[in-house]
Chain A
């Protein structure tokens, strides 16, 4: 804890959890898609579903998807900006069983037809947890650079990836593995100290049994 945790953050109101946190969930979803989205289907759960109009949670999520940060004055007019940029948005108040009260599930589609589903929760003070990608459980905060690696669930894959990061001198601060079924598709989320560079991602993509690697660069 430091003085800027007390006098800060600088943010667009009205609520750190319903507005600032929502921007960050949208922002991470946009980063995971990795290219401009043309379609966004946003499912809201719990308090997000009940109070999104008053808190501007919808505007915040859209702003994040468009790449804005929690202190961006344009958040207020993000639905208009989305229209200008060719992003079609649907907001669906919903119920997601077992989810944290402030949760959004975002389905983004790119012009090329690529689609991703990201579910995240705003857990207070503007902090978030991303808890699902494409239906697989993950857990990362979006506060540090993260590698998201989809791969076949087979022996040696985790070893190869972590050995490569070790060779680069990169320290892993958090690691989580999730899989659909034994031998099915698995997903590694690797949070690191320092920065993830695009070349690392390209190298990981060339390793055996890797389906896709996404580098979230938050710095």
Chain B
């Protein structure tokens, strides 16, 4: 069966008709398109998963500090709250938050990450999938496969909206990553194609309108914490969908809405480091301190 990434509904219909997981259809189609064996495409994705796993491990260690010196160590604080049993959300949920921040902090510290779909949102998908492996005992093979489902969602969003903060705001980065992660979680939990669709829709709905307003233009404040809220959103969306809760607005329409909202967003809220949090007095002060630049003259 030919697979196209124009709409999510087409992909889900293919999975229904073939009675197959979305990930295995995507793997087969991608192998054909790249003119190599499904095994070699899988192995390449497994490499991405290994890099993600290493980033999680490194990011949870103490002593992580960003290249600018602004951020770091927060993933380790969360991990300490789990090991000290002072956390309130449970090991799965708080663990996911810690892992998302771990990867995002490693990114800011000039460590090795996988853009998923971007460097700014690189913690969300790894945190979702690795948490399913560690907390739910899902096999590594299935976790790697779920990245194909997540990628398919990302491709649909890229085709119909965009994945960059400069074009669409943070909804396009952390929002898209959350939708991709929600789809992966649903597949790993044994959900149906319909549930994947509703999870994607719910995830996008929850981040619609989120602006990209990095302080001093750096991928740190608020990006690292938005990776935590991004994976939280992914679990919220997946949990709702797995319980049979439906999104009134279909996924493809939420993606169109994201595009329209992004188009209507002023450029000061699209990765220019001007509006939103970047424009606050504290945001501006950090900017001046960091780069020794007088913002008023900019």
Contacts of A151 in B (CB 8 A): none
The tally of residues in B whose CB lies under 8 Å from a CB in A reads 54
A window 1-27: CB within 8 A of B: 1-16, 19-20
The 4 closest A-B CB pairs, nearest first, are: A13-B107, A6-B154, A3-B151, A54-B68
> Does A73 contact B219, Cβ atoms closer than 8 Å?
no
| Chain B: minimal CB distance from A197 (Å) | 23
Asked whether A76 is an interface residue with its Cβ less than 8 Å from the other chain, the reply is: yes
Cβ proximity bits B36-66 to A, threshold 8 Å, 1 near / 0 not = 0000010011011001000000000000001
**Known A-B contacts A13-B107, A59-B110; A7 and B116 likewise in contact (beta carbons under 8 Å):** yes
Contacts of A125 in B (CB 8 A): 164
Q: Is the CB of A13 within 8 A of B147?
A: no
A15, B293: Cβ atoms under 8 Å? no
Provide a sorted-by-A list of 9 A–B residue pairs whose CB atoms are within 8 angstroms.
Answer: A3-B41, A3-B152, A7-B114, A10-B112, A11-B115, A14-B66, A16-B115, A75-B110, A126-B115
A31-B106 Cα distance, complex, nearest whole Å? 29
Interface residue A179 (Cβ < 8 Å from any Cβ of B): no
Residues of B within 8 A of A11 (CB): 112-115, 119
**Which residues of A approach B to under 8 Å, CB–CB?**
1-16, 19-20, 47, 50-51, 53-56, 59, 71, 73, 75-76, 124-126
Partner of A50, one of B106, B109, B293: B293
Partner of B219, one of A4, A15, A75: A15
Least Cβ distance of A125 to chain B in Å?
7
Instruction: Output the least CB separation between B273 and chain A (Å).
Output: 8
Which of chain B's residues 130-186 have a Cβ closer than 8 Å to chain A? 147-148, 150-152, 154-155, 158-159, 163-164, 166, 180
**B30 an interface residue at 8 Å Cβ cutoff?**
yes
**A50 contacts B155, C-beta separation under 8 Å:** no
List the A side residues contacting B107 at CB < 8 Å.
13-14
In Å, the complex CA distance between A20 and B291 comes to 21
**Are A4 and B117 also in contact (CB < 8 A) when A12-B112, A56-B110 are?**
no
> Hey, which bits of chain B sit against chain A, CB under 8 A?
5, 26, 30, 33-34, 41, 44-45, 47-48, 51, 66-68, 70, 106-120, 122, 125, 147-148, 150-152, 154-155, 158-159, 163-164, 166, 180, 216-220, 273, 290-291, 293
Our pick among B26, B112, B293 for the contact of A3 (Cβ within 8 Å) is B26
**Complex partner residue of B111 from A3, A6, A73, A124, CB under 8 angstroms:** A73
How far is the CB of A211 from the nearest CB of chain B, in Å? 40
A73 to B158, CA, bound (A): 29
A14 contacts B116, C-beta separation under 8 Å: no
Whether the pair B110, A6 counts as a contact (CB closer than 8 A) is: no
Tell me if A12 and B48 are in contact (CB < 8 A): no
Specify which chain B residues have a CB less than 8 angstroms from the CB of A2 in the assembled complex: 30, 33-34
Query: Are B110 and A76 closer than 8 Å at their CB atoms?
Result: yes
List of A residues within 8 angstroms of B41 by Cβ: 3
Please report the C-alpha to C-alpha distance between residue A73 and residue B218 in the assembled complex, in whole angstroms: 20
B217 near A47 with CB under 8 A, answer: yes
Report the Cα distance A124→B164, complex, angstroms. 9
Interface pair B110/A51, CB less than 8 Å apart: no
Question: In the complex, which residues of chain B have a beta carbon less than 8 angstroms from the beta carbon of A6?
Answer: 116-117, 150-151, 154-155, 158, 163, 180
